[in-house]
Structure 1
């Protein structure tokens, strides 16, 4: 690949396993990602989902940092509406002091859950964050990072982006931007164009810097890649209906799932914009995405059942 590769770990909790099993796997994943030469390993914040562990990114980062020595570690992301800005600055400043030049603070906007009572609990009863509140939280977090630097260290801040509006905010604040192509691929081109057009240099970033996150499932054969992608297809079909209550099924269970024609069409459209298949096919697809977007870095997310299959997918695409 012509650009660095990184990994987003969403800590899937598989059917017939316990969350603690997923936690144990995170150590092996972090060590393997480092050994394979990936630049970064980020963790995502999720809540009240049977398919994704509710593991705070700051805790996973600290755990992985103690088990590795060189890979950059960060959040992809922590969700600003759920946290006091000063706490984010203190937590990630402390991590940066303990592990210099290795910590990223990726910040996003969503609640991290489709379960409304959980979203309100995270916000202490408040409703969804407004545009003005989100911008104020981001600005305050960046100010605390500078004004109350913990032990003289700074993490590298990133803004998670999935829309042109988010891209405009990243540009106005002069932040590197991580684009959620794996969630809203139809927004990618417009969002990146807006980001580059509006970007204002800052102490955090002298010019536009684009990381593109792509759902990537790689296997020795196309048929095996399709099999591995099956469980996440089931979860996505539920999300299309606004449901976040589905467990992460086994590949065998996914193969028996009765998708509707509408779901199959939507999944096929999504798949066409990601990277699935053999190593050659995946590399070609990732290369085309870099050429089309001008991305400076790619981040791969591989939500497949079983840590061995996930790590094998990373091995086949490793830099």
Structure 2
């Protein structure tokens, strides 16, 4: 049994043959559906220059979803510090927190949000990659500016996203809750958690280590159906393995016909073994295992499937199985 909050990461996949406006319409409907199902929070990820993932600013998606929901928490997971002035992030999310009391999160990450070098340079106005010291200063500045925003009302809840021990050490030093990107670099999860818990220092933001674990999760009535819906993301991942970042998000039928080579199949199988894909029984058992192995306080599910109804159904099946 899973006795902890369940949440969702929305990456706003843009399906082949659809428009950006269709994806944006679905994000609002998705938030309403997950609120109905009793999920705790939804976060929106920052991406740029990808045909598979919409370049929709997390702050805009958060505001859009907050306007059509009433209790579910919303925020960034994450907004990427190197791409933004710290004071602007504090003002934007501070304003959202004032408008939607005790519902807004500010999850901060480090990556550029793109594999395209020209786009990465444009986001940083021509600057090079952010150093460890610069990133630390940016996160500390965001937190300082948030405190300055206290006059607006309740503050957003800050989190630090991490997929490496370096990010874990920073979260521990600043006393922030940590969101572990198990759905991106599962092989690093254990080291991230060990570094975070060993070095954690209490702060005004968090008095004890607090861990959110993000897991790629696809749930359907049968294993075959779950793997069918998970097929499009396998195509995107196979492209990334070869350094190809411009792979569109295909239909399940197109994904089923995609010719994977032996190396790709091995890598995809190893990745799937560390996530949660299958029937409700299989998925809930796997999520419970991960919660037990990591000592996570919260699980965040990301479900990158092509069909909107199938995506909502995945979350619905998990909640129904837990209720049963």
Q: TM-score, normalised by structure 2?
A: 0.98
Number of aligned pairs? Answer: 319
Q: Deviations over 1:42-98 (max 9, x none)?
A: 000000000000000000000100000000001000000000000000000000000
Match of 1:164 in 2: 165
SS at match of 1:111: coil
Q: Measured at CA, do residues 228 and 150 of structure 1 come closer, stay the same or move farther in structure 2, by a change above 3 Å? A: farther
Alignment of 1:229-240 (within 5 A): 229-240=230-241
Cα root mean square deviation, aligned: 0.7
Match of 1:106 in 2: 107
How far the C-alpha of 1:150 sits from its partner, in A, is 5.1
Match of 1:289 in 2: 290
SS at match of 2:18: coil
Match of 1:145 in 2: 146
Match of 1:180 in 2: 181
Is 2:264 the partner of 1:263? yes
Match of 1:308 in 2: 309
Mapped partners of 1:81, 1:270: distance in 2: 28
Q: Deviations over 1:272-306 (max 9, x none)?
A: 00000000000000000011000000000000001
Q: Give every structure 1 segment of 4 or more consecutive aligned residues whose post-TM-superposition deviation is greater than 6 Å.
A: none
Mapped partners of 1:111, 1:60: distance in 2: 19
Q: Measured at CA, do residues 198 and 247 of structure 1 come closer, stay the same or move farther in structure 2, by a change above 3 Å? A: same
Q: Deviations over 1:237-296 (max 9, x none)?
A: 001111110100000000010101000000000000000000000000000001100000
Q: Deviations over 1:15-34 (max 9, x none)?
A: 11111110111111000010
Mapped partners of 2:166, 2:26: distance in 1: 36
SS at match of 1:60: helix
SS at match of 1:107: strand
SS at match of 2:218: strand
SS at match of 2:158: strand
Is 2:135 the partner of 1:134? yes
Mapped partners of 1:153, 1:129: distance in 2: 30
Match of 1:213 in 2: 214
Match of 2:250 in 1: 249
Q: TM-score, normalised by structure 1?
A: 0.99
Mapped partners of 1:151, 1:264: distance in 2: 51
Match of 2:35 in 1: 34
